[in-house]
Amino acid sequence: MISAITHISRLIRAAFVFAREGVFGAVDPSLVPPPGQLALKLARIIERRGDKQGPRISRALTRMGPAYLKLGQFLATRPDVVGFNMARDLESLQDRLPPFSQAEAEAAISTSLERPLKDVFVSFGPPVAAASIAQVHRGEVERDGIRKAVAVKVLRPNVASRFRRDLSDFFFVAHKAEAYSSEARRLRLIEVINTMSRSVAMEMDLRLEAAALSEMAENTRDDPDFRIPTVDWDRTTHNVLTMEWIDGIALNDHKRLAESQVDLPDLGRKVIQSFLRHALRDGFFHADMHPGNLFLDDAGRLVAVDFGIMGRLGMKERRFLAEILLGFITRDYRRVAEVHFEAGYVPAHHSVENFAQAIRAIGEPIHNRTAEEISMARLLTLLLEVTGLFDMTTRPELILLQKTMVVVEGVARGFDPRLDIWKVADPVVREWIERNLGPIGRVQGALAGGGDLARILMRLPDLAARSVAVLEQLETMTREGLRLSPESIAAMGRSEGRKNRWRTVALWIIAATFIGILIAVRNL
């Protein structure tokens, strides 16, 4: 167990770095209690002078190391926690660190694959990219006498222990904050760090990233404008991920795109429509679709890499998204409001009409405008403010989706400043709605419901038999009393009386439940 003093000493160092980089200079003193205002003034004394290029919070997090970098990236997806201004600053945070040595990478691969490096790869080059958790090398493998280029992702040495240490500090802060602040409890800071912890744990097992690649490849195998690199499972382990090397043009390489005479407006359309298909059709989407993670291959298809951050949506969330988008496209604000209530996101005691009026105030200013004229970040800010007024609870999966949509739209807008995201989204949204909410969708839903009912009916005989057995035991207990051996009686006498009483109540509740089930079965 790490002592509070250890946590505090490490957090003091972090506070010094934040103060040095001028992070506290962005805090409004009027929002801070008097003792905190004094601390802010002291922090400004040691603030670094001179170069102020780039967001201050990003510089500070980069200096603090991998776990803080990931914290910043994660909080960029949670504007409900840090606010939209801070979230926008964090979006510019680049997950780039100096690479670790070639020798360490080669040793890690040999150890993980349990083979000498020369038996695994024909060639293995220096790192081409380095991030907080892993770095990527270009290698070659030989199959049937043919050499093929591969990308090899290798975890940083000792990265897990570094993350565990810093995450323990984050948990310490979250627990203290929730103990003393109602606002921290409302934002559920402990759950925020828990979610981040689970996300990082998945990123540090490269087999899970490989599984995400494989799943998305199956989902998109028939997509005309999108594809996924192939995973080399024979050279993939917990610490190493080997996949097809992509020779396409990175979407952040505007010079090469111009030289290749790429149809940029069409490229923007592909980015938006591909993302919406994945989110709506598959319920599984790439949640880090910045230009550095997207390539254009020779066939004109988008190719995505880096599947460390993925998003999932259930059918309920997909229906919510589709109807919300269609409602804004068609200006059916009443339907947009109804969907919020049907999904259970807005409590039933609120007025649908009032909520529709609030949604109209968001939708009308953006209707018939191009992407150049629409601030999607502003739109999402207004939407969250409105839903907050109507007691809508935080939905992390929807916030991740919304933030990814902002990034995707920004990428598309870079290729076509006049792109209208609503017109581009319209065919994808309508296709999904016709397929899932139209006549075909209703038939498929009925068939799925019938399958669920059949499984329940198949279990009824076993359930009835168990219920009868419970009733017979209860009848015997009532007629003859509960029979116990002397040893059992002595043991029960030594146990805590109160605990036994509650245990007996629990047993009777279970028995009563079975009786209710049996009665329901007999009445079918």
CATH number, position 211: 3.30.200.20
CB 265 within 8 A of CB 417: no
**Quick check: is 174 in a domain?**
no
Final residue of a domain: which of 58, 73, 94? 94
pLDDT, average across residues 43-62: 72
The pTM score is 0.72
On whether both 239 and 127 belong to a single domain, the answer is yes
Domains in the chain, number = 4
pLDDT of res. 475: 58
Distance, CA of 119 to CA of 127 (rounded, Å): 20
Catalytic residue (choose from 80, 89, 166, 288): 288
pLDDT of res. 33: 67
On whether both 237 and 267 belong to a single domain, the answer is no
On whether both 346 and 427 belong to a single domain, the answer is yes
Distance, CA of 282 to CA of 315 (rounded, Å): 9
Final residue of a domain: which of 223, 245, 267? 245
On whether both 139 and 48 belong to a single domain, the answer is no
**Quick check: is 444 in a domain?**
no
Res. 165: pLDDT tops 80: yes
CB 346 within 8 A of CB 390: yes
Final residue of a domain: which of 75, 94, 113? 94
Res. 222: pLDDT tops 90: yes
On whether both 259 and 314 belong to a single domain, the answer is yes
**Quick check: is 140 in a domain?**
yes
On whether both 328 and 432 belong to a single domain, the answer is yes
Residue range(s) defining the domain that contains residue 516: 456-522
On whether both 87 and 101 belong to a single domain, the answer is no
On whether both 56 and 121 belong to a single domain, the answer is no
On whether both 422 and 275 belong to a single domain, the answer is yes
Residues 468-515: pLDDT tens digits?
A: 665 566 556 555 554 444 554 455 445 544 444 544 444 444 444 444
Structure confidence at residue 271 as a pLDDT band (50, 70, 90): very high
CB 433 within 8 A of CB 314: no
**Quick check: is 449 in a domain?**
no
pLDDT of res. 219: 95
For the question of residue 288 being annotated catalytic, the response is: yes
**Quick check: is 178 in a domain?**
no
Which residue, among 424, 407, 422, 522, has the nearest Cα to 471 in the 3D structure? 522
On whether both 218 and 256 belong to a single domain, the answer is no
On whether both 295 and 394 belong to a single domain, the answer is yes
Q: How far is CA 136 from CA 98, 239, 432, in A?
A: 12, 12, 37
On average, the pLDDT of the chain sits at 79
pLDDT of res. 484: 43
CB atoms within 10 A of CB 464: 15
